[in-house]
């Protein structure tokens, strides 16, 4: 190994090139900082390479296949539609993932951001070491943003090997499995279970808690459970996965449910029980950085650690592990370094699950609003009464608004159904801006659109429904 015998001085350094890191780097460069990014594996992070983006590509492929097979309501007959999964995977990798990750590299060049590919280890609060395949180099820095993200949790009895996969392995299967077991019914598990069911797999979900998707209200989750039932997805709750036994052509999963031990065979088992912050083995203790619970880094409202020149964002700090949260925090940290009075201060953090139907939530739920002392109520408008949803043959779902009974302030919202992932942005803006129900009711929405359901839900909340 060639070892650098002198330190190279840098200005702003970002460790990690995911949605938090690359956004922080670009924004810092736009603010006039000289930026260097250090990335050990994926430019674009887990999200663009083996997470958010490729999973949505497979979900889309599954939807297209099902649409082709089930268009009889429109007078279209194409029941013999098939899928060439190798071609699907090629499209996902070369036309989707590589296009986006290549775009990040181009943006780095545009903003004159230097990229160093290697493992970063902190020596102290002002210097770090980057280890590459055949060399190592020490760098000093004025400011540092740590954006190292998270990794899948591996559970006892399910070592990731052969036919036991994490979500990355689940996204890169060479063929659609005939049978798939998914351990964990959260966001990732439910999304990929639905995707592979649409692609033709026989799917079983093992969830340890009483319900899948515990972060969503029961009326939203019920729609997903109904959809899973129609697809033949078997959902077993209160199930504790014990171990997996690998064979040449299958894997056997042992689990306990309802006081009995059961076994299920599958081509693969995918473990999606959560993620762990990437904060170990990088020298945080040498830099004197204060840690919080569960391996997270303690930060203030600007993302600053107890070391004034070091910031941390994304999955390695408190809050939801969401790509858009990381991007938001990255912008705040970049502005804080430039001396601007930016701070992490939001009323609503939207979250989306790309199941069938899509689920989206923002702001407070009804229970959360009441727990915080609001005289809150919920009003729900069904897509079954929306003209655009009817024409799309997509009437499952609703828009639900959570508002204060006293002054009509919008406190939160949930959307289940077609386009939920897009509709939630308008509602997030409304919550963030402190708008009330009347503001939404009086906003002219184009006709016919799914977004009219927001206006109709607001009319309903005012006690003057027009279309129901």
**Rounded to whole angstroms, how far apart are CA atoms 126 and 139?**
9
* Token code pair at residue 375: 């005289």
Are residues 295 and 277 in contact, defined by beta-carbon separation less than 8 angstroms? yes
Using DSSP, state whether 92 is helix, strand or coil. helix
**Rounded to whole angstroms, how far apart are CA atoms 200 and 363?**
36
Query: Comparing C-alpha atoms, which of 121, 122, 146, 143 is closest to residue 131?
Result: 121
**Rounded to whole angstroms, how far apart are CA atoms 12 and 25?**
8
Are residues 53 and 323 in contact, defined by beta-carbon separation less than 8 angstroms? no
Name the residues annotated as catalytic: 447
Using DSSP, state whether 394 is helix, strand or coil. coil
**Sequence-ordered list of residues with C-beta below 8 angstroms from that of 379, at least 6 positions apart, any chain:** 400, 401, 403, 457, 458, 460, 461
Distances from the Cα of 51 to the Cα of 206, 249, 326, 349, 461, angstroms: 21, 27, 14, 20, 38
Tell how many helices (H) and how many strands (E) occur in the chain. 14, 22
């Amino acid at each position: 190994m060639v070892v650098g015998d002198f330190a190279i001085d840098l200005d702003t350094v970002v460790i990690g090139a995911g949605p938090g890191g690359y956004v922080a780097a670009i924004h810092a460069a736009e603010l006039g900082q000289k930026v260097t990014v250090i990335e050990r594996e994926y430019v674009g992070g887990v999200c663009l390479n083996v997470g958010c983006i490729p999973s949505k590509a497979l979900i889309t492929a599954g939807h297209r296949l099902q649409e082709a097979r089930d268009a009889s309501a429109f007078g279209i007959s194409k029941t013999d539609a098939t899928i060439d999964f190798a071609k699907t995977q090629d499209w996902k990798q070369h036309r989707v993932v590589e296009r986006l990750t290549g775009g990040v590299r181009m943006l780095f060049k545009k903003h004159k951001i230097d990229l160093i590919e290697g493992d970063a280890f902190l020596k102290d609060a002002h210097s770090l070491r980057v280890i590459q395949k055949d060399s190592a180099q020490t760098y000093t820095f004025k400011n540092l943003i740590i954006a190292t993200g998270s990794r899948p949790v591996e559970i006892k009895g399910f070592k990731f090997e052969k036919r036991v996969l994490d979500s990355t392995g689940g996204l890169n299967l060479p063929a659609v499995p005939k049978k798939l077991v998914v351990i964990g019914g959260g966001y990732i598990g439910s999304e990929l279970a639905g995707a592979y069911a649409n692609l033709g797999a026989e799917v079983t979900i093992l969830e340890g808690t009483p319900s899948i998707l515990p972060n969503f209200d029961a009326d939203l989750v019920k729609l997903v459970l109904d959809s899973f039932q129609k697809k033949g997805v078997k959902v077993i709750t209160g199930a504790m996965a014990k171990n997996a036994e690998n064979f040449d052509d299958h894997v056997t999963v042992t689990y306990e449910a309802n006081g009995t031990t059961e076994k299920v065979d599958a081509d693969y088992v995918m473990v999606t029980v959560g993620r762990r912050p990437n904060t170990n083995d990088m020298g945080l203790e040498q830099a004197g950085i204060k840690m919080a619970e569960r391996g997270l880094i303690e930060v203030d409202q600007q993302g600053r650690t107890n070391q004034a020149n070091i910031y941390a964002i994304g999955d390695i700090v408190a809050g939801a592990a969401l790509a858009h949260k990381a991007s938001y925090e990255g912008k705040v940290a970049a502005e804080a370094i430039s001396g601007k009075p930016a701070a992490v201060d939001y009323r609503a953090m939207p979250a989306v699950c790309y199941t069938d139907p899509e689920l989206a939530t923002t702001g407070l739920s009804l229970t959360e609003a009441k727990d915080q002392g609001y005289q809150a109520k919920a009003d729900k408008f069904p897509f079954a009464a929306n003209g655009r949803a009817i024409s799309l043959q997509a009437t499952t779902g609703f828009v639900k608004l959570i508002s204060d009974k006293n002054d009509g302030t919008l406190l939160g919202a949930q959307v289940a159904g077609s386009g939920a992932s897009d509709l939630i942005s308008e509602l997030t803006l409304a919550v963030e801006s402190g708008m009330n129900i009347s503001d939404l009711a009086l906003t002219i929405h184009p006709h016919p659109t799914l977004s009219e359901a927001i206006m109709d839900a607001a009319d309903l909340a005012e006690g003057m429904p027009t279309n129901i």
